[in-house]
Amino acid sequence: MSLLERMSLRSTLHEMTLPDGRLLNPDAPGVLVTGAAGEVGHAILRGLGAGGACEVVATDLRPLSVDGVACVEGDLLDPALLESLFSGRIGLVIHLAALLSSAGERHPDLAWKINADATWTLMRKAMSHAESIGHPVRFVYPSSIAVHGRTPSDLHPLREDEALSPQTLYGVTKLAMEEAGRWLSTECGRMAGEKPGATLDFRSIRYPGLLSAETVPSGGTSDYAPEMVHAAVRGEIAKCFVPSEARLPFMTMPEAAEATLALASAPRSALKQTVYAVGGFAPSAGEIESELRQRFPELKVEYEIHSTRSRIVDSWPTDVDDSAAQRDWGFQRGLDLASSLDEYLIPGIRQRHSSCQSSGTSTQRSL
Ligand code: AKB
């Protein structure tokens, strides 16, 4: 059985369209996906397509074309673009657009604009859209392990509320928008005598580092792991900017998409908190190297430590405690490192690499 079949996205999406009678308004079955041209976006759009039951609008700054999806190119801070995105029957927003951690440290003003201003504007627009359709809009906000800032002795899997002192601006904006979404959906309007939560149903999923067979990421700080895997499969020298002991949690991209859609489908009444961490496996860079070497004995890894990026990795959890996600919406950890490599990453990268070689194009990089 393939990974996608195992994930049974179809049933996840089926539940999403018929959620305990209240989750999505049958009159607003549309799903808006922002940042849809990025690597998580591809996987989410594929999952939504597998469900087949909803109308999907996808937007990104970059051009995008996906069968059966209304694709809109533009900047989320452009009011005309926002208006056009919500002109349909949107009942669910999956807001993926973000500038990742290393890119954010290099371009702080842009990081604030994309990660904070655009997120706030989109949530407010979702709320006014909800008023016009007479039903709350569900807003799913992918966040990150970057919200944590651990001390060297915090080596246990971190719970959602532990060690929240982010070192990067990306982590600061992710944490701030988790809190802004919680406030908008549970407090906003109370002072004016309104009932909070009537317009925004906000929930957030914190991703670990993600591993995709389709794209090599850029701009992130967990990138050393996907870069090493892609280089190994392509027979290239792998460069690693953290020491071999550096350890982070990771999961595969299809599993991250599956978890996001599962959280999107969960009944509000089941959710006991706003933010959920999810994990998969948590290898050190050296353990990734040795798993790869078992499969590619010629592999050469050059450790060229980048002190700033390495410090960022050391501030992130060595693993996360995802028991709340398991308890509230049935999240389960899936593939481990070895099976991710054998069942998903190596075959997928090989296939993509050989088709790129035969068509003369380069492997896509994506934020
Ligand atoms: C990054 O490295 O910035 C991201 C993340 C961990 O959120 N991959």
Question: Has residue 356 got a pLDDT over 80?
Answer: no
pLDDT at position 15, please?
42
CATH no. for residue 277?
A: 3.40.50.720
| 221 pocket-lining for ligand 1 (C-beta < 6 Å) | yes
Q: How confident is the model at residue 338 (pLDDT cuts 50, 70, 90)?
A: very high
Q: How far is the CA of 171 from the centre of ligand 1 (A)?
A: 9
Greater confidence (8 vs 19) lies with 8
What residues make up the domain containing 45? 3-359
Mutate to test the pocket of ligand 1, among 39, 99, 100 (most ligand atoms within 8 A of CB): 100
Q: Enumerate the H helices of the chain as residue ranges.
A: 3-7, 9-17, 39-51, 79-85, 101-106, 108-111, 118-133, 169-186, 224-233, 253-265, 285-295, 307-315, 323-329, 337-339, 346-359
Cβ of 170 less than 6 Å from ligand 1 = yes
Of 170, 165, 172, 169, which is closest to residue 151 (Cα–Cα)? 165
Band of the pLDDT at 148, cuts 50, 70, 90? very high
* Residue 100 CB–ligand 1 contact under 6 Å: yes
Query: In the chain, pLDDT over 90 holds for what percent of residues?
Result: 77
- In a domain, residue 146? The reply is yes
**SS3 breakdown of the chain: % helix, strand, coil, rounded to 5?**
45, 15, 40
Q: Looking at the 3D structure of the chain, how many domains does it have? A: 1
Is 154 among the domain residues? yes
| Residue 366 within a domain | no
Confidence of residue 359 (pLDDT cuts 50, 70, 90): low
Cβ atoms within 10 A of the Cβ of 135, count? 19
Quick one: which of 24, 84, 97 has its CA closest to 57?
Answer: 84
Which atom of ligand 1 lies at the shortest distance from residue 168's CA? 3
Buried residues in 75-110 as b, exposed as e (16+ CB within 10 A): ebeeeeebeebbeebbbbbbbbbbbbbbbbbeebee
From 143, 170, 206, 316, the mutation candidate for ligand 1 (largest count of ligand atoms within 8 A of CB) is 170
Which residue did the predictor score with more confidence, 366 or 289? Answer: 289
**Cα torsion 246, 178, 111, 230: sign:** positive
User: Which one is predicted more confidently, 9 or 315?
Assistant: 315
In a domain, 365, yes or no: no
In a domain, 367, yes or no: no
Residue to substitute in 144, 148, 167 for testing ligand 1 pocket (most ligand atoms within 8 angstroms of CB): 144
Pocket-testing residue among 96, 101, 216, ligand 1, by greatest number of atoms within 8 A of Cβ: 101
Q: CB of 231 closer than 6 A to ligand 1?
A: no
pLDDT at position 363 over 80: no
The winner for highest mean pLDDT among 28-37, 143-152, 186-195 is: 143-152
Per the listing, tokens 């407090």 go with 187
CA of 309 relative to ligand 1 center, distance in Å: 11
Report how far ligand 1's centroid is from the alpha carbon of 186 (Å).
28
The alpha carbon of 319 and the centre of ligand 1 are apart by a number of angstroms equal to 14
Mean pLDDT computed over 18-36 = 67
- Strand partners of residue 57: 32, 70
Across-strand partners of 90? 30
Closest residue (by CA) to atom 7 of ligand 1?
144
For residue 27, the model assigns a pLDDT of: 65
Position 223 scores a pLDDT of 98
Q: Which atom of ligand 1 is nearest to the CA of 104?
A: 3
Q: Taking residues 121-146, report their average pLDDT.
A: 95
Which ligand 1 atom is at minimum distance from the Cα of 221?
Answer: 2
* pLDDT class of 276 with cuts at 50, 70, 90: very high
pLDDT band per the 50, 70, 90 thresholds, residue 24: low
End-to-end CA distance of the chain: 30
CA–CA separation, 63 vs 86, rounded Å?
Answer: 19
CB distance 146 to ligand 1 below 6 Å: yes
**158 pLDDT above the threshold of 90:** yes
Dump pLDDT digits (tens) for 245-274: 999 999 999 999 999 999 999 999 999 999
Q: What is the pTM of this model?
A: 0.92
Ligand 1 binding pocket includes 320 (Cβ within 6 Å): no
From the CB of residue 115, how many other CB atoms can be counted at a distance below 10 Å? 23
| Res. 67 pLDDT band, cuts 50 70 90 | confident
CA 352 – CA 211 distance, rounded (Å) = 15
pLDDT at 150: 97
Tokens at 221, concatenated: 């700080």
Cβ neighbours of residue 253 closer than 8 Å, sequence gap 6 or more: 39, 40, 42, 43, 210, 211, 212, 213, 214
Ligand 1 centroid to Cα of residue 224, in Å, is 11
Residue 46 counted as domain residue = yes
Ligand 1 atom showing the smallest separation from residue 170 Cα: 3
Q: What is the mean pLDDT of the chain?
A: 90
Per residue in 197-250, pLDDT tens? 889 999 999 999 999 999 888 899 999 999 999 999 999 999 999 999 999 999
Sequence-ordered list of residues with C-beta below 8 angstroms from that of 187, at least 6 positions apart, any chain = 196
**What is the Å distance from ligand 1's center to 339 Cα?**
22
CB hemisphere CA count around 52 (13 angstroms) = 4
pLDDT for the residue numbered 138: 95
Give the highest mean pLDDT range of 59-63, 190-194, 363-367: 59-63
The Cα–Cα gap between 285 and 224 comes to 8
User: Residue 163 burial by CB count (10 A; 0-12/13-18/19+): exposed, middle or buried?
Assistant: middle
**pLDDT at residue number 110:** 97
- Read off φ and ψ for residue 156, nearest 5 degrees: -85, 165
